[in-house]
Structure 1
Amino acid sequence: GLANFVGKPVSQFFREFEGNLDPSTAHGSGDVKYHLGAEGKFFRMFGDGETTVSLTSNPSHLEAVDPVMQGIARAKQEMLDKGPDGFTVLPVVMHGDAAFAGQGVVAETLNLALLRGYRTGGTVHVVVNNQVGFTTAPEHTRSTHYCTDVAKMIDAPVFHVNGDDPEACVWVARLAVEFRERWHSDVVIDMICYRRRGHNEGDDPSMTQPEMYDVIDAKRSVRKTYTESLIGRGDISLEEAEHALRDYGSQLEHVFNEVRELEKADPAPSPSVEYEQAVPNSLQTAVPLEVIQRIARAHVDLPEGFAVHPRVKPVLERRSKAAAADSEENIDWAYAELLAWGSLLIDGKLVRLSGQDSRRGTFVQRHSVVIDRHTGAEYYPLRNLTADQGKFMPYDSALSEFAAVGFEYGYSVANTDALVLWEAQFGDFVNGAQSIVDEFISSGEAKWGQTSYVVLLLPHGHEGQGPDHTSGRIERFLTLCAEGSMTVAVPSSPANYFHLLRRHATDGVRRPLIVFTPKSMLRNKAAVSRVEDFTSGGYRPILDDPAFAEGGTDGVTRVLLCAGKIYYELVAAREKAGRTHDTAIVRMEQLYPLATEELAAVLDRYPNAGQDVRWVQEEPANQGAWPFLGLWLPERMNGRLPSLKRVSRRRMAAPAAGVAKVHEVEQKALIAEALSD
């Protein structure tokens, strides 16, 4: 397929199998040859025209690429902008029979097929049904009669075809494409065939399927039987068939010998380099006041007669008032987020948001869409900013993580000029998409040179809601951080979150962004920003203690480092304990890449606190940022942290206690420990 349809040179295949690749041309760690994607042109043998063909890079995790490919297709269709039915990009997915029936992401991805935020006008699924899954027989891999029965969930037609009959396969392929073009629906081809060799080059399948492979060994190849059919019908002569076979074989042999004669490069270990995510010095993330006010007006200039829900109307009015230069209203987290998106839309950016309940927000905070109380009509303030603004596309997703995150990652890969965000209902649930995080988001660039701007918004924080509504698993993401693979941030102020989003969308550094977002802090009256924080300044990965902004640092004998909402709890407890003169609280808004220069500059302001620097976190000792920071901070800070101490919950198997009262006792204890001598 890569050679015949994508146009990849055969010599490249041989070089990959022979190992004759120049290590200096490799990108990151690289990957095995079977996983590499490609793009090229398919030229029609008869007739004019050409078709661009892309093969998506994919891991060994079966079917994990399915939603990624759908996201790529959707993004390309919307960039072509052929209208609501302009499905001019055709998604084709190759499956194995055991994987199509057995991998849950297949059903998750099929469920997206007809949804407004995900549809691609139909996908052609080709199941290469070799009637065995590695060494496992069909009766042990599925409970259905056909391996394709899962497609019945969306009423997709299934065409079963004999893989030994090439002309029947071609006929069915044309029928499948015609059906997709006519009905914009998924269609499945079940090509029933066999696997002549084992699952891999060294496997002997006769050990587990002896009778099956006795039959297969006795079968003549499809090439031979089809050639005889063509000769028997008089379509070609025996001499023409033999000449075509010799000619093709000699071409391959010639290329193969050329590749073998090349000097083999000595294997070398892949260097591990912490790529600096250098942001241009000229980058401006602040916006003029007029931009803020334009976005504010869009929240109250509703269509005539539009009946806003009585609980939503005050929110919109507060947003409008907060934009005034002399306003006493502050800007909260949710509005800061909308201001970031709105300002990017005014600049012409496409902004796509998806997630469970993401249009309103799990915590009733966002209200990106306003719904008429009587008619159900929808009004999107961020779609009514300017005549030539970018597209704003918020969608409530299906109840899925694996497929939903994979789709957004794929969309961000294909559309390099869009801000693509996926929000978890609670950060805890992102582990339903762990394969996408591990195989694509964190390592896609290192393995395949495939870059992404995708943003994951993960509500996180210990608030007594139990072990499944507490943690977005900061520790897991930080474990995957190396070579500048992604940015991990825990912003604590609305303005810094605003500048972070704008920087990410405009800095030209194509890396995923993981943001651990607040829950109760959404309504914390201390966690707000003034309008001037948006019209000036920029993103700061380290926030120094504002209590010592004017000096007085010589009296500080203790520095508390922290991230997220615990900052506000520490500030309140410090005030109550009377430690405002000797304890500074510094926020690490960005956990990776480590902002070592900025942190060093802040720590140098407290010359008498060098022996008592404490990392304070809500999470257990074996979770949160500590396993990463406890290892890397002392090493990277050039002796500034000779005895970094940890303040946290004890080591725990689960993220949090299941009883709210236990949570309160633990929270008070760790805050008291942070401020104790």
Structure 2
Amino acid sequence: KAIAEKRSVRKLYVEQLVKRGDISLEVAEQALIDYQSKLQVALDDTRQNAPGNVKAAKPPAPIGVLPHVDTSVDKETIERIFYQLTNYPEGFHPHPKLVRQFEARQKAYETDGDFEWGVGEALAFGSLLIEGFDVRLAGEDSRRGTFSHRHASLVDVETEETFLPLRGVPGISGNFWVYDSLLSEYAALGFEYGYAHSNRNALVMWEGQFGDFVNGAQIVIDQYIVAAEDKWKQANGLVMLLPHGFEGQGPEHSSARIERFLQMCAEDNIQVVNATTAAQYFHVLRRQLIRDVRKPLVIFTPKQPLRMKESRSHINEFTTGSFQEVLDDPFVTDKSAVKRIVMCSGKVAWDAMNERVKRNAPVAVIRVEQLYPFPLDQINEMLTRYPNAREIVWLQEEPENMGPWNFVEHLIWRVKDRGYDLRHAARVASGSPATGSKAIHDQEHADLMDETFLGL
């Protein structure tokens, strides 16, 4: 009632103008009549020319997995970047513990030709900088890396001066920035999304300290990252790095909520990746800019596998090829002997392979490295490589109501029509992502492996 009795803003403003002598009351009234007349003419015209019944066309079918692009880098460039990582300025004093870590890293390469996960990332960054792209990484503890694996910014232990090795790579023409952001996922992710929108030729990344913390930025994800292209035809190449993996660290440090991202996948709106090797990570980062397509990229990054031997990659995997959406089991020598195929995504693949060895089970482990767009054709082709396998188990470390299972089942269930038995192995459905007890975690893991290899 109080609002209804209040005089309108227009009337109050007109009275002010009249009192100041800026206009007369007659002029004000005539302006109102003219404006209302224009509105009425527009309304009448709209009604007279109203279109008939219109049936909107359905959106085009999604393209799905795109053709591969060559993202390899020659050996000379790889080594130029790698050795720059420890090419300290004169008089620089790195932390003694880091010196030992870097020496072991260099020995691994010079002895076996292998690179760990953090080096694979640095090689991707450095090669893009050489090719003229900018690289920008911001996140929670991102300069060092939450798990002390990156060290993109080194600090002199005596002078506290900083040194960013990638800025000194010979031949770079792009800019490299790395920042420790404030602990507001909402604000930081929103800013990086805007930066990626304004600079198409930059690899722009936001990293959560743990993937679990991404829920603090859910509004940005819902309103922009997954929906902006559909709403406004707005392409964006932002990369989200979300550490994910069940390792007994509790419900706030285990899950980046894969299921939530997959639920929002449609119309090729985003890319969802759970890479398992340093080379795969290298190639998917480079693909983000080498390919002339800009889609948000969500990468569920590892924690424990950052230093696992299994996730290391030989230099040949960097100097050839591209990102592979599906990886076959590299340790199966007789494919005709395989009776069961275990499909999975992420770290749990290494658990399954190790368990397979312990049990001497006739199992092949296929890794689905890209969950969206889903590589169904590649999976179907890979199944044909195992002529005597009639069982497929989808294995995930997440609870049954979380993780990729419900998304994947909807896409692969037709394998049953071809005579396959399809089931899944997962933790018990839960309201919380993970237990807070390491002992219970280990028990759940043992149960998960038993369920996966049941009957073999």
Q: Which runs of 4+ in 1 moved over 6 A?
A: none
- Distance across 1 between alignment mates of 2:175 and 2:107: 25
Listed as ranges, the matches of 1:518-667 within 5 Å are 518-548=302-332, 552-579=334-361, 582-609=362-389, 611-635=390-414, 639-640=417-418, 642-667=420-445
- Distance across 2 between alignment mates of 1:509 and 1:266: 36
Residue 231 of structure 2 corresponds to 447
Indicate which of 82, 96, 105 corresponds to 1:296: 82
Q: Secondary structure at the match of 1:645?
A: strand
Amino acid at match of 2:378: E
The normalised TM-score by structure 2 is 0.94
Residue 24 of structure 2 corresponds to 237
Amino acid at match of 2:286: R
Contact 2:129–2:172 (Cα < 8 Å) also in 1? no
Listed as ranges, the matches of 1:110-189 within 5 Å are none
Contact 2:130–2:171 (Cα < 8 Å) also in 1? no
Residue 293 of structure 2 corresponds to 509
Which region of structure 1 is more displaced relative to structure 2, 310-319 or 564-573? 310-319
- Distance across 1 between alignment mates of 2:245 and 2:55: 43
Q: Which runs of 5+ in 1 are unaligned?
A: 1-212
Residue 35 of structure 1 corresponds to none
Q: Secondary structure at the match of 2:425?
A: strand
Listed as ranges, the matches of 1:276-295 within 5 Å are 276-277=63-64, 279-280=66-67, 283-295=69-81
Q: Could you tell me how far 1:396 is from its partner in structure 2?
A: 0.5
Contact 2:152–2:166 (Cα < 8 Å) also in 1? yes
- Distance across 2 between alignment mates of 1:342 and 1:261: 62
Indicate how the Cα distance of structure 1 residues 509 and 641 shifts in structure 2: closer, same or farther if over 3 A, else same: farther
Q: Which runs of 5+ in 2 are unaligned?
A: none
Residue 673 of structure 1 corresponds to 451
What per-residue deviation string (whole Å, max 9, x for no partner) do you get for residues 561-612 of structure 1? 1111111121111112122xx2111101111111011111110111111x21
Listed as ranges, the matches of 1:302-341 within 5 Å are 302-318=88-104, 327-341=111-125
Q: Could you tell me how far 1:427 is from its partner in structure 2?
A: 1.0
Q: Secondary structure at the match of 2:47?
A: helix
Contact 1:318–1:329 (Cα < 8 Å) also in 2? no
Q: Could you tell me how far 1:316 is from its partner in structure 2?
A: 3.7
What per-residue deviation string (whole Å, max 9, x for no partner) do you get for residues 341-363 of structure 1? 11111111121111110111110
Amino acid at match of 2:431: A
Contact 1:621–1:649 (Cα < 8 Å) also in 2? yes
Residue 194 of structure 1 corresponds to none
Q: Could you tell me how far 1:521 is from its partner in structure 2?
A: 0.6
Q: Secondary structure at the match of 1:656?
A: coil
- Distance across 2 between alignment mates of 1:461 and 1:590: 16
**Aligned-residue RMSD, C-alpha:** 2.1
- Distance across 2 between alignment mates of 1:411 and 1:297: 31
Indicate which of 437, 460, 471 corresponds to 2:221: 437
Indicate how the Cα distance of structure 1 residues 618 and 378 shifts in structure 2: closer, same or farther if over 3 A, else same: same
Indicate which of 251, 255, 275 corresponds to 2:38: 251
- Distance across 2 between alignment mates of 1:449 and 1:641: 42
- Distance across 1 between alignment mates of 2:429 and 2:275: 25
Contact 1:634–1:640 (Cα < 8 Å) also in 2? no
Q: Secondary structure at the match of 2:272?
A: strand
Amino acid at match of 1:574: R
- Distance across 2 between alignment mates of 1:642 and 1:592: 23
Residue 496 of structure 1 corresponds to 280
Indicate how the Cα distance of structure 1 residues 384 and 640 shifts in structure 2: closer, same or farther if over 3 A, else same: farther
- Distance across 1 between alignment mates of 2:150 and 2:29: 69
Which region of structure 1 is more displaced relative to structure 2, 534-543 or 504-513? 504-513
Q: Could you tell me how far 1:399 is from its partner in structure 2?
A: 1.0
Q: Could you tell me how far 1:329 is from its partner in structure 2?
A: 4.5
Residue 220 of structure 1 corresponds to 7
- Distance across 2 between alignment mates of 1:649 and 1:217: 59
Indicate how the Cα distance of structure 1 residues 640 and 348 shifts in structure 2: closer, same or farther if over 3 A, else same: farther
What per-residue deviation string (whole Å, max 9, x for no partner) do you get for residues 108-167 of structure 1? xxxxxxxxxxxxxxxxxxxxxxxxxxxxxxxxxxxxxxxxxxxxxxxxxxxxxxxxxxxx
Which region of structure 1 is more displaced relative to structure 2, 657-666 or 220-229? 220-229
What per-residue deviation string (whole Å, max 9, x for no partner) do you get for residues 193-239 of structure 1? xxxxxxxxxxxxxxxxxxxx33x333332322322332333323344
- Distance across 2 between alignment mates of 1:411 and 1:262: 43
Residue 55 of structure 1 corresponds to none
The normalised TM-score by structure 1 is 0.64
Contact 1:299–1:317 (Cα < 8 Å) also in 2? no
Q: Could you tell me how far 1:675 is from its partner in structure 2?
A: 2.1
Q: Could you tell me how far 1:322 is from its partner in structure 2?
A: 6.1
What per-residue deviation string (whole Å, max 9, x for no partner) do you get for residues 149-194 of structure 1? xxxxxxxxxxxxxxxxxxxxxxxxxxxxxxxxxxxxxxxxxxxxxx
- Distance across 2 between alignment mates of 1:269 and 1:633: 31
Indicate how the Cα distance of structure 1 residues 290 and 319 shifts in structure 2: closer, same or farther if over 3 A, else same: farther
Instruction: Count matched residues.
Output: 455
Q: Secondary structure at the match of 2:371?
A: strand
- Distance across 1 between alignment mates of 2:145 and 2:348: 22
Task: Report 1 or 2 for greater relative contact order, CA contacts < 8 Å, sequence distance ≥ 6.
Answer: 2
